[in-house]
Amino acid sequence: MPHRTNEDNQRDSMEEKELYKSMKNNKKSKVDLGNKCVHCKKDTSLGSGRFVNRYPVFGLDIDGSGIEYDGYCCDKCEQEYYKDNPEIDD
Ligand SMILES: [Zn+2]
């Protein structure tokens, strides 16, 4: 293990500050999926078979990666969701 100097520690804390600053300043990445379902990524436009009962979704962070998706949620995924989370259904 190399001996850490005060200089090393100072540099590390400066890097942390820079990182924090860029996290605060950077807008989250946004992906516009248009007519696509944010979950199954399938087309929900009129005539696709998934148009009925779709609803628009804005800024959904699907996997917690910080990337937000705009698009739609199709009825199929909606039903799947309620199937997996029956306690939410009221
Ligand atoms: Zn879907």
pLDDT of residue 7: 84
What is the CA(74)–ligand 1 centre distance, in A?
4
Mean pLDDT of 10-34: 76
Burial (CB < 10 A; 0-12, 13-18, 19+), residue 69, is buried
Binned at pLDDT 50, 70 and 90, residue 77 comes out as very high
Binned at pLDDT 50, 70 and 90, residue 4 comes out as confident
- pLDDT: which is higher, 83 or 41: 41
Give the tokens for residue 74. Answer: 């199709």
What is the CA(83)–ligand 1 centre distance, in A?
14
Q: Is the dihedral of CA 56, 60, 63, 65 positive or negative?
A: positive
pLDDT of residue 21: 66
What is the CA(46)–ligand 1 centre distance, in A?
14
- pLDDT: which is higher, 86 or 61: 61
pLDDT of residue 5: 84
